[in-house]
Structure 1
Amino acid sequence: MSKLPQWRVILNHLKIFREITPADAIAGYNITRLAAIIHRLINEGYPIRNVNPHGQPAKYILDYAA
């Protein structure tokens, strides 16, 4: 069984649960650079946005309505 790249793990999570936080990524997948992965996915065209205001921990959602 081959290991999935981190970006694919996060994308799969978003497709199933529609949201993820840095705490979810660390606890569930041992992924510490969630923002970098989200940035890559956004650049590839996935409609992901941060729904928390500045100063709050990030909460990213996969926004199909965008």
Structure 2
Amino acid sequence: MQVTIQEADCQHKQVLNHLREGKTITNLEATFQYNITRLGDVIYRLRDKGHNIKTDLVQNTHNHQKHAVYKLISE
């Protein structure tokens, strides 16, 4: 299933508003809170629009794999 332009804009706004509140976001949070399954793409497009978003790779304590945590640094 392909995402429409309106849905993509909504996803960008949801993630940007989340980050503007001073919160971080992960793929898992984006999936459960906003039904966004391609957070990396949303972050890529927000960066392309000039938003300074930092990526930290954090090690999962359960299986020792790393996952991305995104945080808005500045706009």
TM-score (norm 2): 0.72
- Per-residue deviation at 1:62? 0.4
Q: Which has more radius of gyration?
A: 2
| 1:32 alignment partner, one of 37, 52, 65 | 37
Instruction: State the partner residue of 1:61.
Output: 71
- Equivalences, count: 62
Give the gaps of 5 or more residues in structure 1: none
Give the whole-Å Cα distance in 1 for the aligned partners of 2:66 and 2:48. 23
Give the whole-Å Cα distance in 2 for the aligned partners of 1:23 and 1:58. 10
- Give every structure 1 segment of 4 or more consecutive aligned residues whose post-TM-superposition deviation is greater than 2 Å: none
Q: Give the AA of the match of 2:67.
A: P
Normalized per residue, the structure richer in strand is 2
Give the whole-Å Cα distance in 2 for the aligned partners of 1:5 and 1:60. 18
Instruction: State the partner residue of 1:49.
Output: 54
Give the gaps of 5 or more residues in structure 2: 1-6, 59-64
Please give the per-residue CA displacement for 1:11-63, whole angstroms capped at 9, x wherever unaligned: 0000013310001101111110100000000011101011116x611100101
Instruction: State the partner residue of 2:18.
Output: 13
Equivalent position SS for 1:51: strand
**Higher relative contact order (Cα pairs below 8 Å, separated by 6+ residues):** 1
